[in-house]
A and B are shown apart, each in its own frame.
Chain A
Amino acid sequence: MLKIDRRIIFLVIGVCTLLPLLYPVGLPIKISPEVRSIYDYIETLPERSVFLLSIDFDPASKPELHPQAIALLRHAFRKNLRVVAMTLWVSGTGMADQLLTQVAHEMGKENGKDYVFLGWSPGGSAVIINMGQDLYTAFPSDYGGKSTKGIPVLEGVQSLKDVAYAISLGAGNPGIEAWYVFGKDKYKFELGGGCTGVMAPGLYPLLRSGQINGLIGGLRGAAEYESLVGKKGRAVAGMDAQSATHFAIIILVAMCNLFYFSLRQQQGSVPR
């Protein structure tokens, strides 16, 4: 039984993912403090504050971070904040542009007046430092090629010091850590983070020390934020499948250990 064909396990996982997506149950989702603190902070921001969203992920992490981006943008637009979006990952540029345009269109916001997409620039941490020194040197034009100097949404913004709240949705490096080390450390804006499930445990030291004021971790975090914003989307829809697959893994691991221990007992005491 321990040497079962792995394709059977693949089938089990496939079924556990597919069935809850086709027949959802909709269990309640508890909100964790680290997600709530981001929500509460955005709630306290006055209208027309500058909100920087750095969409630092590529299509590989889209299922986890795309719902986070959408929920955050809906919240920011609802609070009438000035949204400045950008990305540090080249392969995420098209996706970032699209999701921003989609949510802005849905909330009736105007490009240049209520939001701007600065696009991508190579250099990672160098871009962050450059934005901290002078935003217009880092991004002389926005993604559409229009000059960034003089657009209404960036009025009064010279550098990162003028940003009220920045959130980095990161899938690796450059991501949240880079935004703190090269950004918040010197330019002192408030920083929050959203990340994939793989990165989340590693960011808790920064959360505990207050270096980031909140953390939205993985699809679960996205589902919590969607519930807070009040518009359930893909993340909440995926939670049932998440429950099913987690329990499938727990059962598989339990079975594996059961067979292992019964095998060991059968073979008598084995030297460790």
Chain B
Amino acid sequence: MIFLRRQLPLLITMITGVLFVGQYYVPHPSSELLLTSATKWLQIIGGFALVLGVSSLFHQHAAKIRRQEAGWGYSVVLYAGMLATIIAGALAKGKESFDGIMTGFGWVYNYMMVPLQGTMFAILAFFIASAAYRSFRARSREAAVLLVAAVIVMMGRVPLGEYLIPLSGDVSQWILNVLNASVRRAILIGVSLGAIALSFKIIFGVERSYLGGGKE
């Protein structure tokens, strides 16, 4: 039973991992066919993964309503919104418009989802300004360097800054294309090396936390 619960999944990970690392280097038509089928399967499994992500949300808010915790009325609003959207979607067969005419589902998307999501992220503008005022101080030499670079880039990337000080545009371009690019390149290389090391650890069974589910 231990084999079925622990060893076999790790074996599956290793076999599929090694198989598809090798597939990249084999140009044979059957290798290409293997890749096509595998990625097709991943698309379908990806849909189920979305269901997984969504259902944890259900449980959280259902529990809140059941226990009548403070603010459970809002959880009802959440469910109502979700149900209304699903019903509208089912009636419109999942489409926002038919031949240019907007469906009820399209109405919900355009006049509820888009403004809600857009505004949630738009209010961050205010918070970044308030945070900048309260904490963006040149406490050390490094912080001063950061500050100066930020001011140059902020000025150089807007028409008013380029109009007042044309050099700021050129300097900010140089900062982005040379200094920033070199740092980001180093970070990209470093992070990729780390990700590959982790992937190898997963394939060879050293890292097992991704399995989850059940005992052992």
A: residues with CB less than 8 A from B are 2, 4, 6, 9-10, 12-14, 17, 27-30, 32-33, 58-63, 90-91, 93-95, 97-98, 101, 105, 121-124, 126-127, 129-130, 133-134, 137-138, 143-144, 186, 201-202, 204-205, 207-208, 220, 239-240, 242-250, 252-253, 255-257, 260-261, 272
Contacts and interface: CB of A to CB of B under 8 A. Distances in A.
Given A94-B110, A205-B188, A246-B155, A138 B117 contact: no
Contacts of B133: 4, 6, 9, 252-253, 255-256
Contact of A137 (B36, B118, B137): B36
B188 to A, nearest CB: 6
A4 B159 CA distance: 30
A204 B35 CA distance: 31
A240 B161 CA distance: 11
Interface of B is mostly: helix
Interface in B139-170: 139-140, 147, 150-151, 154-155, 157-163, 169
Residue with the highest number of chain B CB atoms closer than 10 Å, among A2, A126, A240:
A126
B117 A247 contact: no
21 contacts: A13-B126, A28-B163, A33-B173, A60-B117, A121-B43, A122-B50, A126-B46, A129-B35, A129-B39, A130-B40, A137-B36, A138-B43, A143-B95, A202-B188, A204-B180, A204-B181, A205-B181, A205-B185, A249-B154, A256-B137, A257-B138
Cβ-closest 6 pairs across A and B: A122-B46, A243-B160, A126-B42, A27-B159, A123-B43, A205-B185
Given A27-B159, A202-B184, A249 B43 contact: no
Contacts of B134: 2, 6, 256
Contacts of B162: 30
Interface of B: 24, 32, 35-36, 39-40, 42-43, 45-47, 49-50, 95-97, 100, 106, 109-110, 113-114, 117-118, 120-122, 125-126, 128-130, 132-134, 136-140, 147, 150-151, 154-155, 157-163, 169, 173, 176-177, 180-181, 184-185, 188
Contacts of B132: 249, 252-253, 256
A62 B122 CA distance: 11
A140 B177 CA distance: 41
Contacts of B46: 122-124, 126
B137 A60 contact: no
Contact of A126 (B43, B109, B121, B150): B43
Contacts of B97: 97-98, 101
